[in-house]
Structure 1
Amino acid sequence: MTERSTTSPVTNDPYTWLEGTYDEQAVAWARDQSERTESELYDDEFELSVQRIKTVLDAQDRIPMVTKRGDYYYNFWRDAEHRLGLWRRTTWESYISDAPQWQVLLDLDAYAQQESHEWHFAGSQLLRPAEGEAHKRALLRLSPDGGDQVRIREFDLETLTFLDGGFDLPVAKTDVSWIDSDTLLVGSATTEENTTRSTYASTTQKLVRGQELADAEVIFRVDQTHVAAFAYYDSTPGFERIVTTDALDFYNSRVGVILEEKHHEIDVPTDVQVRLHRQWLLLAPQTDWTHQGQLFPAGSLVLAQLDAFLAGGLIEKVVFTPDESSSLESLTFTANYLLLTVLQDVASEVRVIELNNNFAQSVLPLQDRMLSVSVGAVDDEDEDSGDDYWMTVTGFTTPTTLLRGTVGGAPREIKKSPERFDAAGLDVTQHFAASKDGTRVPYFQVSVKDLELDGQNPVLMDGYGGFQHSMTPGYAPAMGAGWLSRISEAGRRPVYVMTNIRGGGEYGPRWHRAALRENRHRAYEDFAAIAEDLVARGVTSRKHLAATGRSNGGLLMGNMIAGFPQLFGAISCGVPLLDMQRYTQLAAGHSWIAEYGDPEIPEDWQFLRTFSPVHRLTDQPHPIDDYPAALIWTTTSDDRVGPSQARIMAAKMMDLGVGNVRYHEPEGGGHAGATDNESTARMLATSYEFLWRQVS
């Protein structure tokens, strides 16, 4: 297990005493500030908000999304009676009924009583059974606090118990896959020698049952200055192999395959994303790529046969080429088809590619462009359902529907979520704002149809703008219950705005790369331009405008506080990255250098400082009265970003005399901010209540 920091690094910064995650003085400060925030916010109205949100999270008629393995459909479920959750499974006939009968495999609440410790379910991996047999074993990922570090335990699917003397790997940042019933492929950051500077595993080992991890054979190793060594065993019959990835940084990697104990590196530029499926090799260049005289533009998808490419670099087909308004969002394989989800101005389209018919293409018929659609193969190895796919359809005011179809036929509705909040009279519209450099930036607005354009409407803007992550429409019952369902004292229903700023993936790699490193300011200018557009259109005014963001979105919020404070009435800044001078030395920060830059390189620090909120507070000071009311929050157990950056930003703002800043830091929840429905409801209610009381 990676040792937790209990002391503060020594620097000239007066706030480094807050960097020790579990440092007694730092924890005491965080506790005092959290108690202050709770004493002001946690009243009867707040508790009603918690209950409204928790009710929709606990609802028994939610869609239980499932994964098919063999004859069973697996699901993880939490509700009011099962706080830590149930790992369970059922049959297809039972699943499609109105009242499915579930076989509980593991009750996490009962397990917590047995262990005298709470473990949070973080996923499972089943061992491929012998042909004709049922699944018998699984590896379960169990987090002690909701963070990224997990314990791996072997579970017996016949006795429904953890296997006595089975695989049991200690808590660490660990990736694992089955090779066979007695052998695992393990990458685990358990010691300094096998951990990268980014806090991930630098080695992959072959662990045999009964063997200590320290004695396991190392089959793959990367330089510790790289992000990580990733590897998995592909057990697909006829295509057994180990796939390796040397993650040089967040966007550059070298991928290879180990076949018959020989390692073959796939010879493409390091910024070409690589994926393998059976005989197919998929290549997605992030910048224009010329290969054997042929140009493949950034954002395209290239298909090759793995054997032919390894032998001579032969390309089979370009199956997707983007244009100015489109980008590839995701893909999935059925037995005979490749399904691509494409965004057209952030609206979903599903394209079908026939793998056995000269790659002929067609489009699945969809209806409302304000809805998001995602598809995923059900089980491409099942003879009876190999070309079946799941389709989920969702929108801001449209509850999620789960459908199942077979390529070539119309999908049928399997489950539909009931309405969780009153959306009557709400309208979803798409708008475009002109950023500082003239770029048209889209955003969605959810508001009443007859919205009065007099600047008096409470508005919540949401944004992210990084890591090529796309913000797309989706039914968010907690947001509906916590924000859209409110009525202000003036009788106004609030407005929700989802932004599609640069740095995201809404228009593919070009949209993402437009806000990388020294161009990061474009993401912040985009968000500010949307805020100004909302005011110019009469939707709201500064005193009624709130904004929220988490993680990289927390960095966005930090730059709104420090760079554009005059635009907002209130901001919620969650699990944020805020100190761009120290971020590479804290938690997993070193892995994000490709996104932001390296502060240890003087030329990089020059531009990093311009979007480092902690530094902007004094480098680009604003009048104290300009700053919006700000809630800065994190969790002590966040082992991805770490709590120190949020602590430092809040402390510095307080020391500068900003009176309307509040800080909140519960212990558990990790980077997600919550571990169960209760803590999720309280986390969301804290943010919504703070913002609502400032701008309503």
Structure 2
Amino acid sequence: MTRNLFAAAAAIAIIAPAASAQDLTVGEYPETRQGDVVETIFGEEVADPYRWLEDDVRNNEEVADWVQRQNALTDNYLDMLPARDWFSERIGELFDYERFGIPTARGDRYFYNRNSGLQNQSPLYVQDGLTGERRVLIDPNEWADDGATALAGWVPSPDGSKLLYSVQDGGSDWRIVRVLDVETGEHIGGEIRWVKFSGLSWVGEEGFVYSRFPEPEEGEDFQALNLNQSVYYHALGTDQAADQLVYATPDAPERNNFAGTSEDGRWMTILSSTGTDSRYEVNLVDLDARDENGWRIIPLVEGFDHSWDQIGNVGSTLYFTTNHEAPLYRIVSIDMDNPQAGWTEIVAERDQPIAGASMVGDHLIVEYLEDASSSAYVMTLDGELVREIEFAGLGSAGGFGGSADSNETFYSFSSFNRPSTIYRYDVATGENTIFAAPEVGFDPEDFVVEQRFYESLDGTRVPMFIVRRADVAASGEAVPTLLYGYGGFDISLTPGFSPSRLAWVEGGGAFVMANIRGGGEYGRAWHDGGRRANKQNVFDDFIAAGEFLISEGVTPEDGLAIQGGSNGGLLVGAVANQRPDLFSAGNAAVGVMDMLRFDQFTAGRYWVDDYGYPDREEDWRILRAYSPYHNIQPDTDYPALLVTTADTDDRVVPGHSFKYTAALQAENLGERPQLIRIETRAGHGSGKPTDKAIEEASDIAAFLAYWTGLNPQDEGVQESD
């Protein structure tokens, strides 16, 4: 299914100390100037003394100096952590395995990413046929000395002769789009710029459609609001200035507009949305009917009420997943030769939400979430069940792309203790074969993955996954525990492999993922239960998870660390304010920390779907009540907090983390440190080079371990033969 633009940041794992926690001291925090900004909002005076830290670090010398001084303090502290070297070495070892992306077949060619282990970026390979020799088509490791320029999206042309791809520099959400001749490796034409939050879709072999924003004012690339996204068509061999405008909404500049084409090249679907919710207006273009008058827009769904995601088509009949009259989603079709006949239900809503669907050959593959774990079924185009696709236990499956003229599809499956294995699946016969399987330096059977359910404050039953070494789980010993959560934007947390999390568990700790409300694990009601006026449920669910882990003897009272990124960074900041006594340490990564001004920067305006509108009093009072920046409790013992962000984060601008950290350091919060780690040439998470990912994960793990009492130097699973 199409998912929202606000993705959760990559999770990282943790562990730590040999010496007494009081043995390491921070010293004096760098001095931070307090401004005199005070605003009266809905009758309440609100001070914002660190407003100046919102400025772009590239354009403000005072902010740049503050960043340098904070990093110097943090680096000095991290250098002293006893488990840092252990984590750096072990996480590096766990990263060092061959991993593959899911192949895409076009013509006789297969395209896929492959990383030999510790390459900063994963090169793109192509091979002729299943048994052909693979060759490197694009190696992004050659693009930048620091490894921070990444290959983002890529799409082969219908016959596999050309490749459309995008480049991400320094972790930014902006993309540069190029086209490559697959046979010669030569580029075709120039570059397309100012592309963001865009799909890339071929229109025949002659051009493609994409979405872009107007070029920002100089110096505003990483801060200005993203408005007036429009869909354009680019003909190969022409300049971007000659691109044809396909669809725009100048009277509604806040709308997102993005397009995709059907596998057979017949239809273009244009989805428009107003925020991060999966609520779309749908327009079509019959590409067979293009003429000298250009692109004829055919309205299909009006109003921003429901999700509509096109799966595929058979001629004039289009298939969609939707939550219209089905909060857990269903599959419907419509015949565009007779649209007045309306929608036909193909697959009815069931007790589990549909997580994705695709058309392969003359079959449907329908993916479900069953208590936050993947299941998938093959069905006929009439919705009749053919068979279930068997997976290896609790885990996450993804992929299942394909074409109407082939029964072949590929998918990945992973879990907390199993890196992704890539499978080739035949929908006609049910034959399931391994395309690529990793060789890893540990035995997955040395770890236990279990799912438990607990009650939140209001009695809601919430699932969590608990990962431990088998011997630790069997002993029943309470061990330092890392609790991770997100809780927003209809994003579901499912089992997946992380080298840093596994290092934490290898070191004798427990890793726990809580599937709190606000996500999509149980459909629309679960999402609605954790947003807007219901946002406090997210924090209550997470706090209840911590209390459950202590009461069940999974973790000792002084051994609980918490972590979250992006919206999960907000989660960590909010619960640290509300229950500082419950947690020993936390990592708030790239978090939304000023809930009264989040809508003023870049993509922030989209998030009103989940958070509400800061300029509306009812919403403002809810936001004011939990905003991490505005609710720090002075003269209270706080957990040790490591805030992490990056200078090129143009999704959640780093000013959120800067202001929050300055406010923490200005208060008397006890003996434990409140530090910030600011990465350079990195963004919200995607595109981060492997060496930076290992370094950051090691720093965070060592920090959390130190303050929860985990000493991985005395523990660990031996590498398997």
TM bin (shorter chain)? 0.7 to 0.9
Other-structure match for 1:205? 232
* Matching residue within 313, 336, 345 for 1:317: 345
Q: After superposition, give the CA deviation of every residue in 1:319-341 in whole Å (9 maximum; x if it has no partner).
A: 13132xx2212212111111111
User: In 2, Cα distance between the equivalents of 1:68 and 1:435?
Assistant: 46
Other-structure match for 1:220? 247
Q: CA deviation at 1:234?
A: 1.7
Other-structure match for 2:106? 69
Q: Does 1:103 align with 2:125?
A: no
* Mapped contact 1:638–1:670 kept (Cα < 8 A): yes
User: In 2, Cα distance between the equivalents of 1:119 and 1:221?
Assistant: 30
* Matching residue within 442, 448, 463 for 2:485: 463
Q: After superposition, give the CA deviation of every residue in 1:198-219 in whole Å (9 maximum; x if it has no partner).
A: 5155222334456554454323
Other-structure match for 1:409? 430
User: In 1, Cα distance between the equivalents of 2:517 and 2:307?
Assistant: 20
Question: Which residue identity lines up with residue 153 of structure 2 in the other structure?
Answer: G
Q: Does 1:123 align with 2:153?
A: yes
User: In 2, Cα distance between the equivalents of 1:398 and 1:157?
Assistant: 33
Q: After superposition, give the CA deviation of every residue in 1:283-333 in whole Å (9 maximum; x if it has no partner).
A: 5454xx5xxxxxx331231311241673332x222413132xx22122121
Gaps of 5+ in 1: 1-7, 96-100, 130-134, 290-295, 487-492
Q: CA deviation at 1:256?
A: 0.6
CA shift in 2, pair 1:306/1:200, >3 Å: farther
Other-structure match for 2:175? 150
* Mapped contact 2:170–2:687 kept (Cα < 8 A): no
Relative to structure 2, which stretch is displaced further, 173-182 or 646-655? 173-182
CA shift in 2, pair 1:206/1:425, >3 Å: closer
Q: Does 1:245 align with 2:274?
A: no
Q: Does 1:30 align with 2:67?
A: yes
Q: CA deviation at 1:245?
A: 1.9
Q: CA deviation at 1:645?
A: 0.3
Secondary structure of the 1:364 match is strand
Q: CA deviation at 1:178?
A: 3.3
Other-structure match for 1:293? none
User: In 1, Cα distance between the equivalents of 2:101 and 2:320?
Assistant: 33
Relative to structure 2, which stretch is displaced further, 406-415 or 180-189? 180-189
Other-structure match for 2:190? 167
* Matching residue within 675, 690, 696 for 1:662: 675
User: In 1, Cα distance between the equivalents of 2:172 and 2:106?
Assistant: 27
Q: After superposition, give the CA deviation of every residue in 1:87-132 in whole Å (9 maximum; x if it has no partner).
A: 221234447xxxxx4312223333447xx99632112223334xxx
Q: CA deviation at 1:420?
A: 4.0
CA shift in 2, pair 1:126/1:452, >3 Å: closer
Other-structure match for 1:533? 548
* Mapped contact 1:637–1:670 kept (Cα < 8 A): yes
Q: CA deviation at 1:179?
A: 2.8
* Mapped contact 1:548–1:573 kept (Cα < 8 A): yes
Secondary structure of the 1:665 match is strand
Question: Which residue identity lines up with residue 558 of structure 1 in the other structure?
Answer: G
* Matching residue within 561, 564, 577 for 1:562: 577
Question: Which residue identity lines up with residue 397 of structure 1 in the other structure?
Answer: N
User: In 2, Cα distance between the equivalents of 1:304 and 1:11?
Assistant: 55
User: In 2, Cα distance between the equivalents of 1:642 and 1:320?
Assistant: 41
Q: CA deviation at 1:500?
A: 0.6
* Mapped contact 1:469–1:505 kept (Cα < 8 A): yes
Other-structure match for 2:448? 427
Q: What is the 5 A alignment of 1:253-652?
A: 253-259=280-286, 260=289, 261-267=295-301, 269-276=303-310, 277-279=312-314, 280-286=317-323, 289=324, 296-307=325-336, 310-313=339-342, 315-323=343-351, 326-355=352-381, 358-364=382-388, 366=390, 369-374=393-398, 376-377=400-401, 379-381=402-404, 383=405, 386-407=406-427, 408-421=429-442, 423=444, 425-449=446-470, 451=473, 456-481=478-503, 483-486=504-507, 493-617=508-632, 621=633, 623-625=635-637, 627-652=638-663
Other-structure match for 1:52? 90
Question: Which residue identity lines up with residue 299 of structure 2 in the other structure?
Answer: E
Q: CA deviation at 1:690?
A: 0.9
CA shift in 2, pair 1:271/1:578, >3 Å: same
- Give RMSD over aligned pairs: 2.9
Q: CA deviation at 1:185?
A: 2.6
Q: After superposition, give the CA deviation of every residue in 1:226-246 in whole Å (9 maximum; x if it has no partner).
A: 544433352643x52332122
CA shift in 2, pair 1:628/1:308, >3 Å: farther
Secondary structure of the 2:152 match is strand
CA shift in 2, pair 1:390/1:210, >3 Å: closer
User: In 1, Cα distance between the equivalents of 2:244 and 2:529?
Assistant: 43
Q: After superposition, give the CA deviation of every residue in 1:20-45 in whole Å (9 maximum; x if it has no partner).
A: 12222112212211221111113574
Q: CA deviation at 1:602?
A: 1.4
User: In 1, Cα distance between the equivalents of 2:395 and 2:86?
Assistant: 30
Q: After superposition, give the CA deviation of every residue in 1:536-595 in whole Å (9 maximum; x if it has no partner).
A: 112213310011111111111111211121110000110111111010002210011111
CA shift in 2, pair 1:647/1:498, >3 Å: same
Question: Which residue identity lines up with residue 168 of structure 1 in the other structure?
Answer: E
User: In 2, Cα distance between the equivalents of 1:81 and 1:560?
Assistant: 36
Question: Which residue identity lines up with residue 326 of structure 2 in the other structure?
Answer: P
Secondary structure of the 1:670 match is coil
Secondary structure of the 1:83 match is coil
Question: Which residue identity lines up with residue 83 of structure 1 in the other structure?
Answer: N
CA shift in 2, pair 1:268/1:654, >3 Å: same
User: In 1, Cα distance between the equivalents of 2:350 and 2:165?
Assistant: 39
Secondary structure of the 2:336 match is helix
* Mapped contact 1:274–1:281 kept (Cα < 8 A): no
* Mapped contact 2:634–2:667 kept (Cα < 8 A): no
User: In 1, Cα distance between the equivalents of 2:296 and 2:687?
Assistant: 43
* Mapped contact 1:460–1:546 kept (Cα < 8 A): yes
Relative to the length of structure 1, the TM-score reads: 0.86
Question: Which residue identity lines up with residue 264 of structure 1 in the other structure?
Answer: I
Other-structure match for 1:98? none
Other-structure match for 1:489? none
CA shift in 2, pair 1:216/1:415, >3 Å: closer
* Mapped contact 2:360–2:407 kept (Cα < 8 A): yes
User: In 2, Cα distance between the equivalents of 1:346 and 1:207?
Assistant: 40
User: In 2, Cα distance between the equivalents of 1:253 and 1:636?
Assistant: 33
Percent identity at matched positions?
25
User: In 2, Cα distance between the equivalents of 1:403 and 1:607?
Assistant: 46
Question: Which residue identity lines up with residue 17 of structure 1 in the other structure?
Answer: W
Gaps of 5+ in 2: 1-34, 40-47, 290-294, 710-721
Relative contact order, higher structure (CA 8 A, sep 6+): 2
Q: What is the 5 A alignment of 1:134-149?
A: 135-149=160-174
User: In 1, Cα distance between the equivalents of 2:335 and 2:438?
Assistant: 41
Secondary structure of the 1:437 match is coil
Q: After superposition, give the CA deviation of every residue in 1:56-95 in whole Å (9 maximum; x if it has no partner).
A: 3232x33454222222222233456743442221234447
